[in-house]
A and B are shown apart, each in its own frame.
Chain A
């Protein structure tokens, strides 16, 4: 048996979490470096997996199969397709930056007040724990195994949101704590309800396989094989119910309008690095799972639900952008921008075209990087001023030009400026949607104007104009902060002009997914010669 690379990629951060948590309370710096080291090791492993993945090879690679609980048809099945391996690499890439950006977030304040004590070890251990769970959720090819970690990652996230909230709160410490708890519980509740409904669907799927195959199974591969061989046939109504159960959970997590309302609270109340963890890493499991599970397991129901989902996606795009325009809080603004962007991703997935789905996958990667860049710089800004209200800022570029410059680049990436990575993916999603559903494509295109509006209004109000009171002494980016931002910007530029390394890995998997749902791209009316 070959080296279990995928297991190792998940075990390393998990082990890192335990070791970091075990570092004595007084040695905070040791704990930080330990955690960082483990996250870097994970990144190396993810990179190895990405390199070893052969785009022209079989659909799932680096597979590991073990029967877990034989009687229940429960398998420890791991394997990655191009989409999964890309998202694992994205996750592993972002975590070290999240840690570095949040380097001082969990430090105790210089105060005797006991309530403000923050366990540094816990913060970093929880981040690693989230990473481990996200990675294994991407790797799982067993429905139940996926479900377990899809749900389990809520626990560390809950503590990260509720326990390490943003200190910059206009309404004071106590009110801040209250809103933080509310946000954490809301996050948990929404995702838990989504998860429970999915659980019902998972069990339903199991029951269906048990009935038709004799022995029930959760294995994706077995289910697909059985269906291909005609041994498993889901009745139309059953397939639709099961699809809805899965989709609901993913739509909460992604999040899709109108299930998005937990996201602004959660991102607003948590520290910037945790907000990045939510939107750039954890939420991606939702959109990933739509591609992986909804389309593969329930192709007919997916097609049946497509019109509704497209409508909801387009609403998300426009609605999220309009709400972003109306926000007064920097982090909530970015959160609503993310709602808009998730609308694009889901639109691309359900447009059922090569461009749409390749674009959506690339969008997941690019949105992860661009939101990380924008949000982390916003975090640096908020920490300096002790406020996250847009109105408290003004003229920052005069005193901290590098900070303002990086913030602008993050913003320009968010509004999908050509030359930066998100442009490519957004255009692919739009063109992929347009070729099958022109009306949706056109409405979604309006999102590019609104994105310019919310980004540039934010930049104008915070960075330009006369220097406001409270901004005068603001320091520019420190070395640690530059180390966080510069590589992200470099990546945005690189993937903006040369996304080929990613698309080459993703394209074959998209081809598989499209053949699952029996869809081919629309042919141009006048095909140009190649």
Chain B
């Protein structure tokens, strides 16, 4: 069984290797090879899952050591895997949704001449993401962490001929690198404090920390949070996710909705031992989560680009998860549960958006949609189920998982609990609003289509089966996953041995919370219907309030970045280039020139008279020998 863990990662890695080096001869079969290897990986995952279910709770963790990666005195980095319930959950999600999206992409990318390469990158992503969740130490996790960053970079910029895509890709990588500083320093702190960065060494030692080491543990927590902010697009490092929608839509579904962006949640949950021992870091985590869940939701309300509206939503939903993870044992399980259900419905929503774009000449502006429900019935139904799931319609997946997070937030207790719980409720209202807005603008109302730049009138049509089947499967997940997980608290029992779980003591009853979420749900939907359903949607966006205009610009965060970081950075590098030439070079040259006035003479010597230079070099050597002789004589 242990060998299977390695093969799980190796299968998509092999696919990436074959597809990226195979050349043109694989153009016709490349997508099939890529999809097959994703499915193989999924099959291994299912086998491992079945095996794990058959074992006692205490014996479910599998480990597999492959080789010593970096053997240096004191610093021993291993390539080793650890498969427990937490990583198993991720492995199933990654390979399952991943395989579906491979299948979807066969249709979606059918007309792209670089399809083989696209599947190569997708395979690379799967391998890196599996490495991330299977690593048994932080150093190897880091490799997966950056590996998914690379795959994300390559896929966001897949249509490289578009400058906007290339810019978005670069931005995503660089913002993520800022987060990576956190992971680097976190690992270094672990190394200097515990002498190791392997889970099995670090976690037991955290409990033994005393005195100033508490501060260090808190520091590690903050650093891991920084890393999570980068990868999971949380405030203040969220700015890249909206731009990342430049990538092909299957990529947005897989990487920027279902899996990679949730890596931050994984990191925090995996590091529960550290965060449980660092309450200050936990406070920071819940704050980041709460702020982002509102931030993303507000941005989602203002976007007319369907993918960017969904991206705002992703940010917001991951905010929920991060907040839950920051709540400690009350929230870990629900963070992951919401992560899984979100993986289903958000991937489904993105694939639906892709299907709409596919039928609409790649139009993304929802003001140019409308009335599509009768043209694309399957897309409408699957998207609609995803919509109901995300807003938390009773009985669907999101209802179970989001509700639990809101309950957990209240259960945190004290003023903090009230603030977080209220923020989560408010977020739920806004979610209902913006998702209803997306739904209405896309599928209801009058049709507002316009010919594209080349004058082609869109002819909306349903997408082919390779695309609709994955959407249908994901819709099933969106509907039933949450309910299934909640039967007998199955999901809680499954994860509890790894993450721990506590009920907390909520000042409000479960029924009250549920009632509250129902109220905000109705309010949000009603408001959106009043604004977009009752009256026709203008084809050109109205100017909007100050908040709307700010939200369209991602609440001015990009403007801030541009003025402070980009402009400031440009000035800095330009001044430095100037100074390097005039000052540093000048001073050093000047010093050198004054040492014996050699500069002028040599410059004359080299003017074409290479031979005389050789003579002077010989002279120099003679001088050296003479000096030595002189020393000898003295």
Cβ-based interface call for B208 (8 A): yes
Cβ-based interface call for A524 (8 A): yes
Find the B residue at minimum CB distance from A188: B602
Q: Which residues of B contact A522 (CB under 8 A)?
A: 192
Known pairs A460-B166, A522-B192; A428 contacts B72 (CB<8 A):
yes
Binding site for A on B (CB under 8 A): 20, 67-75, 79, 139, 142-143, 145-147, 150, 153, 157, 160-163, 165-167, 169-170, 173-174, 177-178, 180-181, 184-185, 187-188, 191-196, 198, 201-202, 205, 208-209, 213, 216, 569, 572-574, 576-577, 580, 584-585, 587-589, 592, 595, 598-599, 602-603, 606-607, 610, 613-614, 617, 620, 624, 627-628, 631-632, 634
Q: Are B157 and A435 in contact (CB under 8 A)?
A: no
Nearest Cβ in chain A — how far from B120, in angstroms?
A: 11
Q: Which residues of B contact A25 (CB under 8 A)?
A: none
Cβ-based interface call for A417 (8 A): yes
Assembled-state Cα–Cα distance A326/B570 (Å): 8
Known pairs A185-B606, A419-B143; A354 contacts B73 (CB<8 A):
yes
Known pairs A155-B617, A448-B184, A524-B195; A510 contacts B163 (CB<8 A):
no
Question: How does the 8 Å CB contact mask read for A347-360 relative to B, with 1 for contact and 0 for none?
Answer: 00000011100110
Cβ-based interface call for A29 (8 A): no
Partner of B161 from A159, A395, A528 at Cβ < 8 Å: A395
Assembled-state Cα–Cα distance A434/B223 (Å): 15
**What is the total of A-B residue contacts with beta carbons within 8 Å?**
217
Partner of B188 from A151, A261, A435 at Cβ < 8 Å: A435
Cβ-based interface call for A452 (8 A): yes
Cβ-based interface call for A325 (8 A): yes
Cβ-based interface call for A203 (8 A): yes
Q: Which residues of B contact A203 (CB under 8 A)?
A: 627-628, 631
Nearest Cβ in chain B — how far from A105, in angstroms?
A: 18
Known pairs A199-B624, A435-B191, A528-B202; A417 contacts B146 (CB<8 A):
yes
Nearest Cβ in chain A — how far from B603, in angstroms?
A: 6
Nearest Cβ in chain A — how far from B78, in angstroms?
A: 12
Q: Which residues of A contact B68 (CB under 8 A)?
A: 500
Question: How does the 8 Å CB contact mask read for A421-446 relative to B, with 1 for contact and 0 for none?
Answer: 00110011011101100100110011
Partner of A322 from B75, B170, B576 at Cβ < 8 Å: B576
Beyond the given pairs A72-B632, A257-B584, A449-B177, 10 more chain A to chain B contacts, judged by CB atoms under 8 angstroms and listed by A's residue number, are A258-B584, A259-B588, A261-B585, A323-B580, A418-B143, A431-B192, A466-B163, A467-B161, A511-B73, A529-B201
Q: Which residues of A contact B170 (CB under 8 A)?
A: 456-457, 459-460
Cβ-based interface call for A173 (8 A): no
Q: Are B592 and A193 in contact (CB under 8 A)?
A: yes
Cβ-based interface call for A497 (8 A): yes
Q: Are A466 and B74 in contact (CB under 8 A)?
A: no
Most chain B CB atoms below 10 A, which of A327, A353, A466, A525: A525
Known pairs A72-B628, A445-B184; A326 contacts B576 (CB<8 A):
yes
Assembled-state Cα–Cα distance A181/B163 (Å): 39
Q: Which residues of A contact B146 (CB under 8 A)?
A: 417-419, 423
Q: Which residues of A contact B181 (CB under 8 A)?
A: 445-446, 448-449
Cβ-based interface call for A113 (8 A): no
Q: Which residues of A contact B157 (CB under 8 A)?
A: 464
Q: Which residues of B contact A459 (CB under 8 A)?
A: 170
Q: Are B577 and A528 in contact (CB under 8 A)?
A: no
Q: Are B577 and A323 in contact (CB under 8 A)?
A: yes
Partner of B573 from A192, A325, A503 at Cβ < 8 Å: A325
Q: Which residues of A contact B577 (CB under 8 A)?
A: 323, 326-327
Assembled-state Cα–Cα distance A182/B162 (Å): 41
Known pairs A261-B588, A417-B150; A193 contacts B188 (CB<8 A):
no
Nearest Cβ in chain A — how far from B440, in angstroms?
A: 37
Q: Are A463 and B160 in contact (CB under 8 A)?
A: yes
Assembled-state Cα–Cα distance A417/B144 (Å): 10
Assembled-state Cα–Cα distance A192/B573 (Å): 30
Cβ-based interface call for A273 (8 A): no
Find the B residue at minimum CB distance from A522: B192
Cβ-based interface call for A453 (8 A): yes
Q: Are A524 and B194 in contact (CB under 8 A)?
A: yes
Find the B residue at minimum CB distance from A504: B71
Cβ-based interface call for A10 (8 A): no
Nearest Cβ in chain A — how far from B587, in angstroms?
A: 7
Within 8 A of B (CB), among A84-128: none
Find the B residue at minimum CB distance from A435: B192
Q: Are B607 and A181 in contact (CB under 8 A)?
A: yes
Q: Are A465 and B588 in contact (CB under 8 A)?
A: no
Q: Are B602 and A189 in contact (CB under 8 A)?
A: yes
Interface SS of B by simple majority: helix
Partner of A430 from B174, B184, B592 at Cβ < 8 Å: B184
Most chain B CB atoms below 10 A, which of A159, A456, A521: A456
Nearest Cβ in chain A — how far from B612, in angstroms?
A: 13
Nearest Cβ in chain B — how far from A309, in angstroms?
A: 17
Known pairs A418-B147, A500-B68; A526 contacts B188 (CB<8 A):
no
Assembled-state Cα–Cα distance A497/B588 (Å): 41
Find the B residue at minimum CB distance from A319: B576
Cβ-based interface call for A6 (8 A): no
Partner of A441 from B145, B188, B617 at Cβ < 8 Å: B188
Cβ-based interface call for A174 (8 A): no
Assembled-state Cα–Cα distance A155/B610 (Å): 11
Known pairs A449-B177, A456-B174, A498-B67; A526 contacts B205 (CB<8 A):
yes
Q: Are A430 and B73 in contact (CB under 8 A)?
A: no
Find the A residue at minimum CB distance from B182: A445
Cβ-based interface call for A40 (8 A): no
Assembled-state Cα–Cα distance A308/B334 (Å): 51
Q: Are A521 and B73 in contact (CB under 8 A)?
A: yes
Nearest Cβ in chain A — how far from B220, in angstroms?
A: 12
Partner of A428 from B75, B209, B628 at Cβ < 8 Å: B75
Within 8 A of B (CB), among A365-410: 395, 397-398, 405
Find the A residue at minimum CB distance from B167: A460
Assembled-state Cα–Cα distance A363/B30 (Å): 37
Q: Are B585 and A323 in contact (CB under 8 A)?
A: no
Q: Are B602 and A354 in contact (CB under 8 A)?
A: no
Q: Which residues of A contact B163 (CB under 8 A)?
A: 464-466
Assembled-state Cα–Cα distance A391/B169 (Å): 20
Q: Which residues of B contact A527 (CB under 8 A)?
A: 194-195
Most chain A CB atoms below 10 A, which of B75, B191, B205: B75
Q: Which residues of A contact B180 (CB under 8 A)?
A: 448-449
Nearest Cβ in chain B — how far from A492, in angstroms?
A: 14
Q: Are A528 and B585 in contact (CB under 8 A)?
A: no
Partner of B177 from A163, A448, A525 at Cβ < 8 Å: A448
Within 8 A of B (CB), among A125-158: 144, 151, 155, 158
Assembled-state Cα–Cα distance A207/B74 (Å): 40
Find the A residue at minimum CB distance from B159: A464
Nearest Cβ in chain B — how far from A456, in angstroms?
A: 4
Find the A residue at minimum CB distance from B75: A355
Known pairs A189-B592, A259-B588, A452-B174; A199 contacts B192 (CB<8 A):
no
Known pairs A323-B576, A326-B573; A465 contacts B160 (CB<8 A):
yes
Cβ-based interface call for A237 (8 A): no
Q: Which residues of B contact A418 (CB under 8 A)?
A: 142-143, 145-147
Find the A residue at minimum CB distance from B604: A185
Cβ-based interface call for A247 (8 A): no
Cβ-based interface call for A499 (8 A): yes
